[in-house]
Chains A and B, each alone.
Chain A
Amino acid sequence: MATSSPILRAEALEKTYPPLTSGAPGLTLFRDLSLEVAPGEMVAVVGQSGAGKSTLLHLMAALDRPTTGNVYVGETEVTALTPRQQSAFRNRQIGYVWQFHYLLPEFTALENAAMPLLARGVAKSEALAAAETWLARVGLAGRGHHRSGELSGGEQQRVSIARALVTQPRLLLADEPTGDLDTTTSTQVFELLQQLHREQGLASLIVTHNLDFAARCDRVLRLKGGQLHPA
């Protein structure tokens, strides 16, 4: 595993927020943080609330910029992209799952799952067909016509997983994907993620507070003192 070149590579990351009032010290989240995730690897990130786990995922997805340091996804130097390139990068290479499903309430489950393809300009019929396939893969075959309000929490999260993977990305970033769900549903959703990770040959970075889930990943990293430590 260590021999193949990593999908995700972060080097010497530093992220400092400027102080809210002048004179006060700014908030430094990361100091010389490095990270590598190999293809097929599922890595769990744990850490206290406020440690910067969400911020770390944002940096990986070009939703935020580090103060210094570089992020590479495959050959792409994420930290050097223009805003327009960042959008295309997120659309093609990243699948993002949040704690909350964040489905668009005006659209059906099928349309939500197809959304990243539609945004890319894929023909509607083609995008919906792909979304249909993905809804089936997350266990929601035939449920595509429901609005998000008509689905349970677990089902909503499944739709958001389908939306994250419909573009066939190489890297899956998940920020507490089971944080809003009850224990049984959490387990089901986590196992679904594991299964899809394997089937798609993804590289995954999963932030979780659930140490049981973390233990079931290939590697566990603890974010503490601005750096990632093996745990």
Chain B
Amino acid sequence: MRFELFIAARYLRARRRQAVVGLITLISVIGVAAGVASLIIALAITNGMRRDLQDRLVGSTAHVLLMKTAGDGIDNWRPLLDKLQHQPHVLAAAPGLYGQVLISRGPRSGGALIKGILPDDELKTGNLLQSIKQGSYGELQPTTLIPNPSPLIPKPIVIGQDLATTLGAEVGDSLLVTSPQGELTPLGLIPRYEHFRVVGIFNSGFYQYDSSYAFMRLADAQHLFSEPDVISVISFKLDDLYKAQQVGHALEQVAGNGFQATNWMEQNRELFRALKLEQVVTFIVLALIVVVAALNILIALTMMVMEKTRDIAVMMSFGVDASQIRRIFLAQGLLISGIGTVLGLVVGYAASLAGSHYKFIQLDASIYSIDYLPFAPRIIDALAVAALSLITALLATLYPSHSAASVLPAEALRYE
């Protein structure tokens, strides 16, 4: 193979008798590089998107959620929570009471999902409260810890950044929270409403939460929804987020009849499936560039074989075997592809790393739920892309190297 590489490498570098062959060779190298770089960058983006979404989702939400099958509240939840907290793989558990409300401030209003919480527990299972950018969650501590200074001061609430923008609300502003689960009065069912005071605004960068989540004290939520001391959900943080399924089942067993667990994967299955599909489609579409690049290699090599027919015949006349001739052009194709692939990998990786470092592509968070384009290049993608590139190049060399090996020296050298 040393001889074949020696010849192939020299052919690649040498000035051409026909300039067009050199030009097409150059175009082939650039084509391969462009295809490989595009694939690396695109895969880094889809991958970054998925990783980013997953991190945020898993960070913001609990790994496992446990609720009643019937959808009614969990009463006498404290001993249950205590028991479940000590199950294997469970790092923390937090009670929560969810309810749908309408929040309004003057003429502006928006729908929101209220979560009544105990902040100390909530912090251990999700990080939305940590992303508070204005104000703090301090006032969400139960009144047993911080007594309400005066019943005249509205109760505290923490809302998401986008919801705050919708309402035009800032920390300290008063909001009217209306629950459809109203009170039965002699006049019929009337919605229950109450004033709350914004004590914190969080910004998770996750539009789904920032636009519709609001936190209040568990007791305040129970009061607002006219519930006794019940909760609707127990959230769990695990030591291994990929054990969510298995731990969920175990928790169902321990909790007893009527309980049902779900997890972050199940809740976002459609999302992750869509992301996976997006990645596959991106790969296929961009792989076409690599295929076109391989066609360039085919053309470049075919022209080179035509240009070199006489030299091939001469080599055969002094004993170079047809199989060696074939390998010369195979090596030639692989050199073109190899150089292009390495070039493409370097460019693709450099662009991806620069992209993830400088975050230079800003996104509209309300559309993409993240504020910049994430890049996460992976070694496995690089290997797959390099393999694809080299294999297509290998296929492209089959025809030209075969035709080179089929040169009949006596014919090729007869009329010169």
Residues of A within 8 A of B (CB): 54-55, 58, 61, 63-64, 83-84, 87-92, 94, 96, 98-100, 102, 104-107, 115-116, 118-121, 124, 163-164, 167
- Given A64-B410, A106-B11, 8 other A-B residues pairs in contact with their CB atoms under 8 A: A54-B414, A90-B316, A92-B319, A106-B14, A116-B318, A119-B315, A124-B2, A164-B318
The answer to whether the Cβ of B381 comes within 8 Å of any Cβ in the partner chain is no
Stretch at the interface among B39-47, B222-230, B321-329, B367-375: B321-329
Decide: A61 near B3, CB < 8 A? Known: A87-B322, A106-B11: no
**In the bound complex, do residue A119 and residue B409 qualify as a contact, i.e. CB atoms below 8 Å apart?**
no
In the assembled complex, which residues on chain A have CB atoms less than 8 Å from the CB atom of B416?
A: 98-100
Which of these, A55, A64, A106, A116, contacts B319 with CB under 8 Å?
A: A116
Which of these, A87, A118, A167, contacts B316 with CB under 8 Å?
A: A87
Residue of B nearest to A147 (CB): B14
- How many Å lie between the Cα of A63 and that of B17 in the bound state? 27
- How many Å lie between the Cα of A92 and that of B321 in the bound state? 13
Chain B nearest Cβ from A101, distance in angstroms:
10
**In the bound complex, do residue A102 and residue B319 qualify as a contact, i.e. CB atoms below 8 Å apart?**
no
**In the bound complex, do residue B317 and residue A119 qualify as a contact, i.e. CB atoms below 8 Å apart?**
no
In the assembled complex, which residues on chain A have CB atoms less than 8 Å from the CB atom of B322?
A: 83-84, 87
**In the bound complex, do residue A107 and residue B315 qualify as a contact, i.e. CB atoms below 8 Å apart?**
no
Chain B nearest Cβ from A104, distance in angstroms:
5
Which of these, B10, B315, B323, contacts A106 with CB under 8 Å?
A: B10
In the assembled complex, which residues on chain A have CB atoms less than 8 Å from the CB atom of B409?
A: 63
Which of these, A54, A105, A118, A120, contacts B6 with CB under 8 Å?
A: A118
Which of these, A87, A90, A118, contacts B3 with CB under 8 Å?
A: A118
Residue of B nearest to A98 (CB): B413
Decide: A96 near B317, CB < 8 A? Known: A63-B409, A64-B410, A106-B11: yes
Chain A nearest Cβ from B311, distance in angstroms:
5
- How many Å lie between the Cα of A106 and that of B317 in the bound state? 18
Chain A nearest Cβ from B398, distance in angstroms:
19
**In the bound complex, do residue B11 and residue A90 qualify as a contact, i.e. CB atoms below 8 Å apart?**
no
Which of these, B11, B310, B410, contacts A58 with CB under 8 Å?
A: B410
Residue of B nearest to A88 (CB): B319
In the assembled complex, which residues on chain A have CB atoms less than 8 Å from the CB atom of B413?
A: 98, 102
Chain B nearest Cβ from A165, distance in angstroms:
11
- How many Å lie between the Cα of A100 and that of B157 in the bound state? 95
Interface residues on B, range: 20 to 34
24 inter-chain pairs at a CB distance below 8 angstroms, sorted by A residue, are A58-B410, A63-B317, A83-B321, A84-B321, A84-B322, A87-B319, A87-B320, A90-B316, A90-B318, A91-B318, A91-B319, A92-B319, A96-B317, A98-B416, A100-B416, A102-B311, A104-B314, A105-B14, A106-B11, A107-B10, A115-B315, A116-B318, A116-B319, A119-B319
Residue of B nearest to A122 (CB): B3
Residue of A nearest to B13 (CB): A106
Contact pattern, B 289-323, Cβ under 8 Å of A = 1, otherwise 0 = 00000000000000000000011001111111111
In the assembled complex, which residues on chain B have CB atoms less than 8 Å from the CB atom of A64?
A: 410
**In the bound complex, do residue A90 and residue B414 qualify as a contact, i.e. CB atoms below 8 Å apart?**
no
Residue of A nearest to B411 (CB): A64
Chain B nearest Cβ from A224, distance in angstroms:
21
**In the bound complex, do residue B318 and residue A163 qualify as a contact, i.e. CB atoms below 8 Å apart?**
yes
- How many Å lie between the Cα of A179 and that of B345 in the bound state? 53
Chain A nearest Cβ from B17, distance in angstroms:
7
In the assembled complex, which residues on chain B have CB atoms less than 8 Å from the CB atom of A87?
A: 316, 319-322
**In the bound complex, do residue A105 and residue B317 qualify as a contact, i.e. CB atoms below 8 Å apart?**
no
In the assembled complex, which residues on chain A have CB atoms less than 8 Å from the CB atom of B319?
A: 87-92, 94, 116, 119-120, 167
- How many Å lie between the Cα of A120 and that of B323 in the bound state? 13
Chain A nearest Cβ from B120, distance in angstroms:
75
**B314, B315, B319, B416: which has the most chain A beta carbons within 10 Å?**
B319
The 3 closest A-B pairs by CB, nearest first: A91-B319, A106-B14, A87-B321
Contact pattern, B 1-41, Cβ under 8 Å of A = 1, otherwise 0 = 01100100011001001000000000000000000000000
**In the bound complex, do residue A119 and residue B310 qualify as a contact, i.e. CB atoms below 8 Å apart?**
no
**In the bound complex, do residue A119 and residue B324 qualify as a contact, i.e. CB atoms below 8 Å apart?**
yes
Residue of B nearest to A101 (CB): B314
**B314, B315, B317, B321: which has the most chain A beta carbons within 10 Å?**
B317
Decide: A119 near B17, CB < 8 A? Known: A90-B318, A107-B10: no
Decide: A119 near B10, CB < 8 A? Known: A63-B410, A100-B416: no
In the assembled complex, which residues on chain A have CB atoms less than 8 Å from the CB atom of B11?
A: 106
Residue of A nearest to B318 (CB): A116
- How many Å lie between the Cα of A99 and that of B315 in the bound state? 16
Which of these, B311, B323, B324, B410, contacts A104 with CB under 8 Å?
A: B311
**B10, B315, B322, B410: which has the most chain A beta carbons within 10 Å?**
B410
